[in-house]
Amino acid sequence: MRNTPAFAGLALALLSYAFPGLARESPRSHVEDVARAIEQNYFDEARARRIAADLRGAAAKGEFDTLTEKRELASALTVKLQPFDRHFRVGWTDAPRAQATADSPVMSPTQPQAKHRRGNYGVRRAEVLPGNVGYIDLRGFAPFEFGVAGQPERQAIEAALQLLAGTDALIIDLRDNGGGAPQMVGYLSSAFVRKDADIFNTFHGRDRTMSEAPLDWYPQPRLDTPLFVLTSARTASAAEAFAYTLQSAKRATVVGEASMGAANPGGDVDAGRGFSVFVSFATPINPITKTNWEGRGVTPDVVAEPAAALVTARRLALEAALGKGLPPESAIDTRWALDALRAEAGASPPVPADDYAGTYGMMTVGTAQDRLVLQQGRRPVRTLLPLGNDSFAVLENPSQRVVFQRNANGRVEALEVRHSDGDVQRHRRGHSLQSAGTTSKR
């Protein structure tokens, strides 16, 4: 039989009768589903109607008609919606998906428990940097429930904080943090402010108000520890809430670039036929600023390119720690770490390598990639950063310094390896430590 327009129309009519949902499914019908989900769930009812009307108007003009591949349609709808609210995100899947509610909003897409666990509940790294500066690389704000013992999400962040409890300053890196749960925002913030401090966002929805203040407060908050928070354009949602809350309370210095600007928490709403849309159920209001960061992001106190933000924050943290008035023995180590950091970042003039190159006991001084280096047996090579006056910081361990000694004729005759705790070893140039029958202490 010839495939004529009349036959095609008859076939479509028969299919519509037998399978009524099939004929209705089209890009325009999916747009209508998404518009309806927004209209029914977005926190601002008047704005919800305007957003839905704009979406329907674009569909009526045929803006989405060619997007028959559903994932492409979802991406196009996300682009269309994000100027209205940075949290809008449309997805499509042929698998069942969980749906959030206004009673349990999240500030980023929900993730399976296994993914949270494999990501160590957001805590990528916790370590003590030179100069006794704590550093936490936090990639997400994991959800947990207050009042429930033994939750790994809460234990992970507590372990990181306890590991760094003795540090003189702290850096929390949110440059690659896309958000998460408001509960964790409140709990982590409480680790740095007095109990019951009125600094937390209040979320205003259609028919209820919720606070980000934690139900359980961190038991031993560090009220005076200098705190620095790193942000980038990738920093979003709950990560922004943490930075904004502590910045507004004058409790943290934000370093980096302006964050994404996604303030309004919400969750995935089923739009039908495999489509879902992340809809904001509420908007936060900060008690200090009386506003939030939606659309503009958190403005850093110290602007730095993302790649340079950690070095900048380390310098600021070391300076702040010294400004607190550390004990003399601690201040020396912190000062040495700061000097090494500045020497590494600065454009040091070339040093006369021939002045220093040679053998000093079991140590050998040479050059590598235009830098002076120190080699001792099979130990890792140490890079020497010039500080002036024949003094060098050790890049790999700023708690050490190498100082060369000259004789009356101005020729280098020895080197000293000095440690910030006061220990010193001296090695004469050209003198074989093996023949002297001695060993190096460190």
- Residue 431 confidence (pLDDT) above 90: no
Taking alpha carbons only, the member of 326, 337, 128, 339 closest to residue 224 is 326
Beta strands 424-428 and 358-360: pairing type? unpaired
For residue 192, what is the DSSP state? S
Q: Are 393 and 416 in contact (CB under 8 A)?
A: no
> Residue 347 has what pLDDT?
67
What would the mean pLDDT of 274-283 be, rounded to a whole number? 97
DSSP state of 121: G
Closest CA to 86 of 288, 239, 302: 239
pLDDT of amino acid 99: 55
Q: At what angle do helices 45-60 and 70-81 cross, to 10 degrees?
A: 130
Looking at residue 141, its pLDDT comes to 97
For 350, which DSSP code?
Answer: P
Q: What is the mean predicted confidence (pLDDT) over 121-128?
A: 97
* 256 HSE (CA, 13 A, CB side): 27
Mean pLDDT of the chain: 90
Helix and strand numbers (H, E) in the chain are 13, 20
Q: Which residues pair with 426 in a beta bridge?
A: 416
Beta-carbon contacts of 173 under 8 Å, excluding residues fewer than 6 positions away, are: 135, 136, 137, 138, 230, 310
The domain defined by 353-436 carries CATH number 2.40.128.50: yes
| Cα distances (angstroms) measured from residue 302 to each of 255, 306, 315 | 5, 11, 12
133-138 and 123-129: which strand pairing?
antiparallel
According to CATH, the superfamily of the domain at 116-144+151-321 is 2-enoyl-CoA Hydratase; Chain A, domain 1 (3.90.226.10)
What's the pLDDT score for residue 274? 96
Q: What is the pLDDT of residues 235-268, one digit of tens each?
A: 999 999 999 999 999 999 999 999 999 999 999 9
Tens-digit pLDDT profile for residues 3-52:
443 443 334 334 444 444 444 689 999 999 999 999 999 999 999 999 99
Number of neighbouring beta carbons within 10 Å of residue 60: 10
Beta-ladder partners of 203: 210, 284
Helix, strand, or coil here: 35? Answer: helix
CA torsion through residues 172, 175, 176, 182, sign: positive
Quote the crossing angle between the two packed helices 27-41 and 70-81, to the nearest 10°. Answer: 40
pLDDT band at 116 (very low <50, low <70, confident <90, very high): confident
Distances (CA, A) of 399 to 59, 161, 356: 65, 24, 21
Mean pLDDT of 356-367: 95
What span, in angstroms and rounded, lies between the C-alpha atoms of 83 and 100?
A: 22
Edge to edge, the sheet with strand 282-285 lists 209-211, 202-205, 282-285
Burial class (CB in 10 A: 0-12, 13-18, 19+), 350: exposed
Domain assignments of the chain as residue spans, ordered by start = 15-92, 116-144+151-321, 353-436
Tokens of 95: 């698998």
pLDDT, one tens digit per residue, over 201-215 is 999 999 999 999 999
Instruction: Decide: 219 and 241 in contact? Cβ < 8 Å.
Output: no
DSSP line for 1-34: ----HHHHHHHHHHHHHH-HHHHH-SHHHHHHHH
Strand partners, 135: 127, 171
What is the Cα–Cα distance from 153 to 32, expressed in whole angstroms? 38
Distance CA 337, CA 129 (A): 9
